[in-house]
Amino acid sequence: MAKFEPSEAVLSGETADVYFAHTVDILGKEKLNPVATMQVFSSRAGILCGIEEVKALLARVLPEDNREVWALGEGEAIDRKEVVLRITAPYQSYGLYETAICGILAHCSGWATAARECVDGAAGIPVISFGARHVHPSVAGVMDYSAIIGGCQGCSSIAGARLAGVEPSGTMPHALIIVIGDTVKATLAFDKYMPTGVPRISLVDTFKDEAEESLLVAQALGDRLNSVRLDTPAERGQVTVDLVKEVRARLDLAGFQKVKIFVSGGVDIERIKQFIAEKAPVDGFGIGSYITSAKPIDFTADLHEIEGKPIAKRGRIPGITLNPRLKRIM
Amino acid sequence: MAKFEPSEAVLSGETADVYFAHTVDILGKEKLNPVATMQVFSSRAGILCGIEEVKALLARVLPEDNREVWALGEGEAIDRKEVVLRITAPYQSYGLYETAICGILAHCSGWATAARECVDGAAGIPVISFGARHVHPSVAGVMDYSAIIGGCQGCSSIAGARLAGVEPSGTMPHALIIVIGDTVKATLAFDKYMPTGVPRISLVDTFKDEAEESLLVAQALGDRLNSVRLDTPAERGQVTVDLVKEVRARLDLAGFQKVKIFVSGGVDIERIKQFIAEKAPVDGFGIGSYITSAKPIDFTADLHEIEGKPIAKRGRIPGITLNPRLKRIM
Amino acid sequence: MAKFEPSEAVLSGETADVYFAHTVDILGKEKLNPVATMQVFSSRAGILCGIEEVKALLARVLPEDNREVWALGEGEAIDRKEVVLRITAPYQSYGLYETAICGILAHCSGWATAARECVDGAAGIPVISFGARHVHPSVAGVMDYSAIIGGCQGCSSIAGARLAGVEPSGTMPHALIIVIGDTVKATLAFDKYMPTGVPRISLVDTFKDEAEESLLVAQALGDRLNSVRLDTPAERGQVTVDLVKEVRARLDLAGFQKVKIFVSGGVDIERIKQFIAEKAPVDGFGIGSYITSAKPIDFTADLHEIEGKPIAKRGRIPGITLNPRLKRIM
Amino acid sequence: MAKFEPSEAVLSGETADVYFAHTVDILGKEKLNPVATMQVFSSRAGILCGIEEVKALLARVLPEDNREVWALGEGEAIDRKEVVLRITAPYQSYGLYETAICGILAHCSGWATAARECVDGAAGIPVISFGARHVHPSVAGVMDYSAIIGGCQGCSSIAGARLAGVEPSGTMPHALIIVIGDTVKATLAFDKYMPTGVPRISLVDTFKDEAEESLLVAQALGDRLNSVRLDTPAERGQVTVDLVKEVRARLDLAGFQKVKIFVSGGVDIERIKQFIAEKAPVDGFGIGSYITSAKPIDFTADLHEIEGKPIAKRGRIPGITLNPRLKRIM
Amino acid sequence: MAKFEPSEAVLSGETADVYFAHTVDILGKEKLNPVATMQVFSSRAGILCGIEEVKALLARVLPEDNREVWALGEGEAIDRKEVVLRITAPYQSYGLYETAICGILAHCSGWATAARECVDGAAGIPVISFGARHVHPSVAGVMDYSAIIGGCQGCSSIAGARLAGVEPSGTMPHALIIVIGDTVKATLAFDKYMPTGVPRISLVDTFKDEAEESLLVAQALGDRLNSVRLDTPAERGQVTVDLVKEVRARLDLAGFQKVKIFVSGGVDIERIKQFIAEKAPVDGFGIGSYITSAKPIDFTADLHEIEGKPIAKRGRIPGITLNPRLKRIM
Amino acid sequence: MAKFEPSEAVLSGETADVYFAHTVDILGKEKLNPVATMQVFSSRAGILCGIEEVKALLARVLPEDNREVWALGEGEAIDRKEVVLRITAPYQSYGLYETAICGILAHCSGWATAARECVDGAAGIPVISFGARHVHPSVAGVMDYSAIIGGCQGCSSIAGARLAGVEPSGTMPHALIIVIGDTVKATLAFDKYMPTGVPRISLVDTFKDEAEESLLVAQALGDRLNSVRLDTPAERGQVTVDLVKEVRARLDLAGFQKVKIFVSGGVDIERIKQFIAEKAPVDGFGIGSYITSAKPIDFTADLHEIEGKPIAKRGRIPGITLNPRLKRIM
């Protein structure tokens, strides 16, 4: 499981909304530091993710002798408006971190929820997160971690794999093939230098027809070839159900029944469902922007008690909201 | 203008797709390091953002004596499939950074583009980015920076304001009012302790009807009150056109014509257009999730020349793509 | 049950289409007064209403010794094209009243049908007809009567309540509160002067936040307060599910579990369904324009026999249409 | 112009919402009777109708020496939310009539607005209101009056024609033809007994094909025949553009170019537009349920001043709303 | 069952795509005539038709001692992409006929599939193909034959009836009635001259109302009248459910319970479903353009083996596709 | 221009609706053969086609001394319900041919109209009819002829080209390449044996990537290569705009600027518009099923005069319909 460490930028309040800095400042000057209960709830249903990183932050900032924290667990399914976190502690100890707490949960839960959709749609066929290239590198790791919490078997970024405690998944990029200038040669070079544990997955759409290149690399590597990856670009109609069936059939005809087929390139939940419904012989899906373009699941934090007395802003109900699924974590 | 510094995680390749690490490794062992030209193009039209951060990265990694970089500028409008960046340099110097380059541009351009929509819709009324709470804190700063590149006048996060070279914008959170227990008292405390330069903007929907609280804080602060902020939650029907008109009228009737009205809470482009069309007297909009939930604008990087010779994968056209808007930046 | 009396305007033919006056005139001069059978059928399915008023009219105009009338009952569900009334009598005795007969059934059945939809949607929660202000006062009474036939428990107009044999339902209008200038004072005045039997229902959205005013009136009246009425206008986002839940929670927190919540203001069948689906703790609905803007269910009257011989215009089938549900009423 | 007289049921408050009776009762006991200003505005754009009837009511109930009434005129186009009526007078003199005032305007304006749509669509071809049979007889007259305010040239009910100061329009009903048993004979009887001023319009779809019956009645009446009316029922496909063209052609071929064609039967704005677009030679339209099923245009009455001081409920703006189109009428 | 004979135009290659003529020419000059296996599959699901005509063609052109043909049967339901025909023979013997083979199957299967939809929709009521007038006479026969394969009980063209081995179905055209000038006289003439076996079906919408003409011809022919045909044109609203019910009722009232009702005129699957759902007493449907405007079901022919070796173009799978439903027919 | 000859099947009445045979039989026995005027009109707007074939039929069957025929010309645009043909002659001379006349016009005009849409959409780029394989071979020729009347520059069937007086257009089928086993060899064989006048158009999607095969055949044939044809199947995503641009760019980079690009494979009007809008460098389109699956434009024939006297069935207007565009042709 991931080991999260709050960054200096978060701890210093640098990433916070400035009005929380003002608030802590004003309350300090007013010498107001009541024990306050804050509850955090989600704007829609999904998969909760980021709570581990939030816990790491709270463990650093809440006073050990005056805190009580209840939460749901990483990866749990949550309902719309469900309270997922409740903090009771002196307000000044955590007021500055409302922005970070909500932001971590929002972004991570959004990614995990989209990943879960894909995994559910894929009906048992492994799904790998391939979207690091679509997000800012500062969150590439947590994005991939969230996808794995959502059910993905692996991810392409080194940072994400480290957080999730898995090996990063990779095939080969078009760049390797273009620099070497030939798919078969590139695959042979990959095979020559990569450690034994790295599966040999050849990308077969760079220079020739996918079916043709599949047979060429299969003939070149023989039993060492683990998979071919089809990543046909939109300019060529993307990977279709029929293309997968045809490559499978041509590989089988040539005796390469053991070579798997891995599909990527603009795969989303609709296309996953189509591949499954039409029984395309896919052995793995690589998902990019469907996960990375998922909307964050916005979370809202509200104070519900001050020094044990129920209070709330208009639109919220004063006092603690019961949620029997919450577990005390601190 | 922002001063970007590539992080250690990016420079080390930690945030990259693992297959680029493999590729650099294999090519190194094969002693292949040709001068290669990579072009980056967008998947859809929008506002380019992140190119400054990409330039800071390239400046660190490309050999000064063997590089040529052409790019469009931060904040420029771009077309679908337009080439926005062209790098010519030894492939090993930059191959590892394809993931980061695409990811920075994708995420930042997505945010900037959504911000531009809001700014265009608001027809001259200032728009402030309020969405830090909806993204992971590691990107809260670049998100707000991107929103400002897209046209926002300010942002709520300290980190974003620093990158964009502006003062962070803040009013007061519901938490301050709830801890103090009274909107007028909270506003007076804010006024007492905040430096002169910070505008006095009171949040007027916490405990009483918005129109009622607006009059109370106006009466309490007199000329020092800059604005009231309406942030009515969905549970109470959000801020409507008529509410703004009514608060304006009631403030005017009581002699507070100078107090401005700032609107936030689930504001999106449709609601902005409605406020403008129905001539609601809004003096500023705070936008959160419309910007933060914008889909990244995916960018694609392709090699188009190796040692000066045109080449490309299937689906792309070999050789350099002409784009007279590109400027040489390195 | 209502006691209807045909008005002089109806009996004189003043409200009839002029060609029926011409027809009776011509047939009189031609000395043609055959026994004719007229059947009336509906243009769509719904709840039959108005038949009692039609019977009162027929009882006045048909010759007692030469008439036979079959009909369905007030409030019965009817099918599209179902015959709901069959009159056999000398044509001149009733020819003039075709307009009135069809009009009474059309308007009343339209209202009753819309009311029934609301009542069915409300799943046992009482529904009161509040729409007198949306119809011409000449039909305010029959509209409210029809709503009660459709299943409403009460209505706001005195005339409608009298026709339906119930007490009129009322809370207090905004005007009372505005003239008195304070919600609590107005509620106390109401309590002071109204007879014991009139339930104390306070309207709580006039000057302050609904939750705030609810608590104020509850504290002022104590056990005598029967209900609060939420009637939030569209300018403030109408009454939402969450507002009801919050007011309920705040009343309960303050010990006013017995105070009921009555909801009005633009409530239609969609919103009723939403309140029910999301389990909003509503104790009563006030429905206005959903009922009053219901389209009349047009009825058509056709002659099917003349002196016992089947006849009909093109498009209709000569002779009597069998409908075993019809009962002889005259 | 119509001469309206408030009915006893209205004057007595019988048709009012009961809470206005309570309000007047309470204020009387409290001896509160301030001069109050009430404004009435519409919920959507349309044609104002009913204001003459409202004026007749106000003239009866407001004290002549202490009243000021401003209003728009009967038949004027109004905007959404436009103030159409402003009353300043002692509240007890008119408080009881809020229900009636709003109801008269709502129902009448709804009908007038639908009529205007038809008249605009008909592009100069006369439109007659034929819907008395679809409304309760108590409002048949005001409905037809409203249709004429909306632009109809005539109406079928005697009561409506009297209110509007026109002759009622009528052709002949199917009943006359069925009782007499023959279309030609019925037309001849009509011609024999009706006064000279009543146009001879024969209904030609009762027993035979419309074109066939048109020729038969034209041959029977010769120059005295003014028009034929086509009223084909839905069971026979309603009146189509082609049917009108064919009847016109067959009449012309037989030398009856002067006989006009009048179309009725489920005609709505869409069908009017089709007849006009396809140049069907229609000489008049009879409109029924399109007008009678029009939704009332709900009106809202609000107090905006008490004894000259601005006040309003939440959601409305205190004080008088300027509308330069208002004229003082009392 | 039909006896098809390939035409000289087909056999000579006149109707082929010219490039097949070129291909046979080139291969002949190259002395290439391998045994090749061609498979034909459909573009969508439907009813297979035309295979008998294709078999007649193949029987003429394939060498008896070197051919193997597998196929599905005429009228069988087929799936999308299902192989319906497999030919193994020297390529030059059949290469020229690919155009004709695909074209026959495409056009005939399209018609048969639309006919099947109607027959299924009609729920047991006979359906007759009446569309010869909507297709080129060169295919009027095969169109009607295909409709009968799809389930129609008969057809109007003599050529189609001959191919399908049934008697042609006919009633009488409007032209006969117009030339004779009277529906009853035309029906009597038909009855006088037509052989006993031809059912007397009178067309009853030419000059008078359908119900009126139905009674007139029934009275004229008595027991000899088999049916009336309703063919009301669109100008008169087409045949409606209610018209059929009314004609049935009027015939029954007059004692003609045995006379059937046949419906035609723009009947499509939606209208069939409506007639069935509303229980219109129809005894037969005549279908024209719904069948004739059916899109052909395109078929594709591919070579999958050359001299026993699997081969295929890109997008297809080399080698024979298994389909256990295929039967060897040659 | 085409030279049409009526077939024996048409002349004998074999392809007619049987009731026309009955009609001619009955009228013959009744010795009724009046001069009758029949008019033919279309059910919707489009391009008239087939009138030449109809004229050839009428020229054979109408008595030269007693006929008058007016018509519009082949390829003229026609309106909905426009009369396109008027025949005045003894009824028995042409009554039997109503089915054939309507059918020829319906089918041919349907095809010509769809072709015209494509030609208009293609904005000057040549369009060739490639759909012979989707229609029954008995109409392959007239289908292609109709497409050319609609504006196509050529067609693939020999029969169609003959009727239209052009050379058939052909490239090479996949079958030629598969039998020879190699695209380059097949193209060289084509080049070796085909006459000089036949343009060398190579089909480049059979075994390898389209761009790769394009370069191979261009290198093999040099200046003699006229075009490449892209026909990518749906299984591979069809031909995309980007594929055409890429093949063009790769051919140009290799110095083959003169080689044209011809696009086929499921091309319809939407895709043509997209190719044009996105400026794909297409030099010709091959259209198949968009034309062949066009619905026939149904035509209706009606008698309007018998022996000079106006008459018509219900729904039509008796007498001749004026159409100044008609020209006398016989």
Tell me which chain D residue has its CA closest to the CA of residue B240: D315
Residue A35: count of CB within 10 angstroms of its CB: 16
**Does chain D reach chain A with at least 3 CB pairs under 8 Å?**
no
Using a CB-CB cut-off of 8 Å, the residues of chain D touching E240 are 234-237
Contact yes or no for F299/F266 (Cβ under 8 A):
no
The two counts, helices (H) then strands (E), for chain E are: 13, 14
Q: DSSP secondary-structure letter at D157? A: B
Paired strand residues for A306: A36, A309
Of the pLDDT bands very low, low, confident and very high (cuts 50, 70, 90), residue D170 is: confident
Residue A114: strand, helix, or coil: helix
Using a CB-CB cut-off of 8 Å, the residues of chain A touching B175 are 20, 23, 36, 38, 91, 95, 98, 303
Determine, for residues A246 and E319 on separate chains, whether the beta-carbon distance falls below 8 Å: no
The owner of tokens 């559910």 is A120
Contact yes or no for B70/B85 (Cβ under 8 A):
yes
Of the pLDDT bands very low, low, confident and very high (cuts 50, 70, 90), residue A2 is: low
Nearest-Å Rg of the Cα atoms of chain B is 24
Contact yes or no for C171/C204 (Cβ under 8 A):
no
Residues 6+ apart with CB under 8 A from E114: E150, E290, E291, E294
Residue F78: strand, helix, or coil: strand
Q: Tell me the DSSP string of E88-152.
A: EEEHHHHGGGHHHHHHHHHHHHHHHHHHHHHHHHHTTS-EEE--GGGS-HHHHHHHHHHHHHTT-
Which chains have at least 3 CB atom pairs separated by less than 8 Å from chain B? A, C, D, F
Per-residue pLDDT of chain C (330 residues; tens, 9 = 90+): 558 999 999 999 999 999 999 999 999 999 999 999 999 999 999 999 999 999 999 999 999 999 999 999 999 999 999 999 999 999 999 999 999 999 999 999 999 999 999 999 999 999 999 999 999 999 999 999 999 999 999 999 999 999 999 999 988 999 999 999 999 999 999 999 999 989 999 999 999 999 999 999 999 999 999 999 999 999 999 999 999 999 999 999 999 999 999 999 999 999 999 999 999 999 999 999 999 999 999 999 999 999 999 999 999 999 999 999 999 999
C-alpha B61 chain-centroid distance: 26
Of the pLDDT bands very low, low, confident and very high (cuts 50, 70, 90), residue F2 is: low
Of the pLDDT bands very low, low, confident and very high (cuts 50, 70, 90), residue D171 is: confident
The shortest CB-CB distance from F136 to any of E137, E142, E292 is to E142
- CB pairs D-F closer than 8 Å: 17
Residue D75: count of CB within 10 angstroms of its CB: 18
Determine, for residues F253 and B316 on separate chains, whether the beta-carbon distance falls below 8 Å: no
Per-residue pLDDT, B217: 98
What percentage of chain A reaches a pLDDT higher than 90? 98
- By C-alpha distance, which of F136, F115, F100 is closest to F48? F115
- pLDDT per residue over A254-280, tens digit each? 999 999 999 999 999 999 999 999 999
- pLDDT per residue over D272-321, tens digit each? 999 999 999 999 999 999 999 999 999 999 999 999 999 999 999 999 99
Where do the DSSP E strands lie in chain A? 35-42, 46-47, 68-71, 77-78, 83-90, 127-129, 154-155, 201-203, 227-230, 260-263, 284-287, 299-306, 309-310, 327-328
Determine, for residues D178 and C311 on separate chains, whether the beta-carbon distance falls below 8 Å: yes
Of the pLDDT bands very low, low, confident and very high (cuts 50, 70, 90), residue E2 is: low
What backbone phi and psi angles, to 5 degrees, belong to C300?
-120, 135
- Round to whole Å and give the CA distance between A104 and A142: 9
Nearest-Å Rg of the Cα atoms of chain D is 24
Residues from C contacting E (CB-CB < 8 Å) are: 310, 314-319
- Round to whole Å and give the CA distance between C108 and C113: 9
- Residue D319, by phi and psi: left (phi above 0), alpha (psi -120 to 50) or beta? left
Per-residue pLDDT, E171: 86
- CB pairs A-E closer than 8 Å: 17
Residue C55: count of CB within 10 angstroms of its CB: 17
What is the bridge-based pairing of β-strands E127-129 and E284-287?
Answer: parallel
Using a CB-CB cut-off of 8 Å, the residues of chain D touching B279 are none
Compute the average pLDDT of residues A14-35.
97
Residue A209: strand, helix, or coil: coil
Q: DSSP secondary-structure letter at F251? A: H
- Round to whole Å and give the CA distance between D275 and D242: 9
- Round to whole Å and give the CA distance between B261 and B48: 32
Count Cβ atoms within 10 A of the Cβ of residue D253 and give its class: 0-12 exposed, 13-18 middle, 19 or more buried.
middle
Kindly tell me if the per-residue pLDDT of D2 is higher than 60: no
Paired strand residues for B315: none
Walk across the sheet containing C35-42 and list its strands: C309-310, C299-306, C35-42, C83-90, C68-71, C327-328
- Round to whole Å and give the CA distance between B215 and B251: 6
What backbone phi and psi angles, to 5 degrees, belong to F260?
-90, 165
- Round to whole Å and give the CA distance between E312 and F207: 8
The shortest CB-CB distance from A168 to any of B18, B175, B208 is to B18
- Round to whole Å and give the CA distance between D89 and D61: 10
- Round to whole Å and give the CA distance between B33 and B63: 13
Count of all residues that appear for chain F in the document: 330
Top pLDDT among E293 and F196 is at: E293
pTM of the full structure: 0.93
C-alpha count within 13 angstroms, C-beta hemisphere, residue F177: 22
Per-residue pLDDT, F170: 82
Q: What is the CA angle B177-B179-B184, rounded to 5?
A: 35
Per-residue pLDDT, B2: 53
Determine, for residues C253 and A315 on separate chains, whether the beta-carbon distance falls below 8 Å: no
Residues 6+ apart with CB under 8 A from A19: B156, B170, B171, B172, B173, B176
Compute the average pLDDT of residues A3-27.
96
Determine, for residues C250 and A316 on separate chains, whether the beta-carbon distance falls below 8 Å: no
- Round to whole Å and give the CA distance between E115 and E152: 7
- CB pairs B-F closer than 8 Å: 17
Per-residue pLDDT of chain B (330 residues; tens, 9 = 90+): 558 999 999 999 999 999 999 999 999 999 999 999 999 999 999 999 999 999 999 999 999 999 999 999 999 999 999 999 999 999 999 999 999 999 999 999 999 999 999 999 999 999 999 999 999 999 999 999 999 999 999 999 999 999 999 999 988 999 999 999 999 999 999 999 999 989 999 999 999 999 999 999 999 999 999 999 999 999 999 999 999 999 999 999 999 999 999 999 999 999 999 999 999 999 999 999 999 999 999 999 999 999 999 999 999 999 999 999 999 999
Determine, for residues C249 and A314 on separate chains, whether the beta-carbon distance falls below 8 Å: no
The owner of tokens 């939109």 is A234
Determine, for residues C310 and E211 on separate chains, whether the beta-carbon distance falls below 8 Å: no
Residues from D contacting E (CB-CB < 8 Å) are: 207-209, 212, 232, 234-238, 240, 242-243, 246
- pLDDT per residue over D20-65, tens digit each? 999 999 999 999 999 999 999 999 999 999 999 999 999 999 999 9
What is the bridge-based pairing of β-strands B227-230 and E77-78?
Answer: unpaired
Which chains have at least 3 CB atom pairs separated by less than 8 Å from chain A? B, C, E, F
Copy the structure tokens of residue F291.
């034309």
- Round to whole Å and give the CA distance between B125 and B121: 9
- Round to whole Å and give the CA distance between A25 and A27: 6
Kindly tell me if the per-residue pLDDT of F1 is higher than 70: no
Residues 6+ apart with CB under 8 A from D177: C313, D183, D186, D203, D206, D207
How near does any CA of chain E get to the CA of F278, in Å? 26
**Does chain E reach chain F with at least 3 CB pairs under 8 Å?**
yes
Compute the average pLDDT of residues F120-148.
98
Of the pLDDT bands very low, low, confident and very high (cuts 50, 70, 90), residue A3 is: confident
Using a CB-CB cut-off of 8 Å, the residues of chain A touching C253 are 310, 318-319
How near does any CA of chain A get to the CA of B193, in Å? 6
Q: How far is CA F43 from CA C255, F84, F318, in A?
A: 76, 11, 19
Determine, for residues E179 and F306 on separate chains, whether the beta-carbon distance falls below 8 Å: yes
Per-residue pLDDT, B170: 82
- pLDDT per residue over C236-245, tens digit each? 999 999 999 9
- Round to whole Å and give the CA distance between A269 and A275: 10
Residue A167: strand, helix, or coil: coil
- Round to whole Å and give the CA distance between B262 and A281: 56
Residue A327: strand, helix, or coil: strand
Contact yes or no for B112/B146 (Cβ under 8 A):
yes
Copy the structure tokens of residue E57.
């063609």
Compute the average pLDDT of residues F130-138.
98
Per-residue pLDDT, A130: 97
Average pLDDT, rounded, for chain A: 97
- pLDDT per residue over F70-98, tens digit each? 999 999 999 999 999 999 999 999 999 99
Tell me which chain B residue has its CA closest to the CA of residue D319: B253
Per-residue pLDDT, B72: 98
- Round to whole Å and give the CA distance between E246 and E278: 13
Determine, for residues E314 and A209 on separate chains, whether the beta-carbon distance falls below 8 Å: yes
Count of all residues that appear for chain A in the document: 330
Nearest-Å Rg of the Cα atoms of chain A is 24
Residues 6+ apart with CB under 8 A from B184: B216, B217, B220
The shortest CB-CB distance from C245 to any of A314, A317, A319 is to A317
Which chains have at least 3 CB atom pairs separated by less than 8 Å from chain F? A, B, D, E
